Amino acid sequence: MSLEAEESAWAFENMKTEEFEKMMVLNMRIYTRTGDAGQTSLFGGTRVSKSDPRVAAYGDVDELNAQLGLARASTADADIDAELVQLQRDLFALGAQLADPARKISPRVEKAILGEADVQRLERLIDRLEAELPPLRHFILAGGSACGATLHVARAVCRRAERGMVALDPAVDPVILMYINRLSDLLFVLARTANARGGAVETAW
């Protein structure tokens, strides 16, 4: 490892949340020309092809985040909107962890780390929303309201992201696999909730 790479790795390992956020803002130019040859940088400075499975995995997470933004634009339900905002923030953290295979981001950067408490938060939300829904007695077709249908698409993108994450080498933190698995369950429940609150009838298979 070069001296420059060693210094970069040390910086990530010892960075605090406010330092991490400042670094991200300072590096948010729209174009940098550094990816013109088909490569991109992971955290710590490692250069990889844009076709690398890890890049594809966090690309799927980015697509999922955009789908949640579309769902937010499709609903006037303040409760659903607030939950989706939190999920979008979670996905930024998830993307950061996927882009950090050497785990160089300091644990002190809490904003960029998902843990078991986040998985438990999703489970509590699933339980709360399911309590207001009629029991699911058959398979249903994706659709319904604009928000509900968008959340069904998000669920499918979430499963794709999960498949990509499972295949990565080195393996990802088991906690974020738990998170992405629970998230797809939550998105299904959120889709049903959006449809129920919007008066959209579910279509049985």
pTM for the full model? 0.84
Domains delineated in the chain: 3-197 (1.20.1200.10)
Q: What is the mean pLDDT of residues 148-164?
A: 98
pLDDT tens, residue by residue, 106-128: 665 666 789 999 999 999 999 99
- Give the other-Cβ count within 10 Å of 158's Cβ: 28
Distance between CA atoms of 66 and 9, rounded to whole angstroms? 30
pLDDT tens, residue by residue, 157-195: 999 999 999 999 999 999 999 999 999 999 999 999 999
pLDDT tens, residue by residue, 37-73: 787 777 777 887 787 889 999 999 999 999 999 999 9
What is the percent of the chain with per-residue pLDDT over 70, rounded to a whole number? Answer: 83
Q: How far apart are the first and last CA of the chain?
A: 56
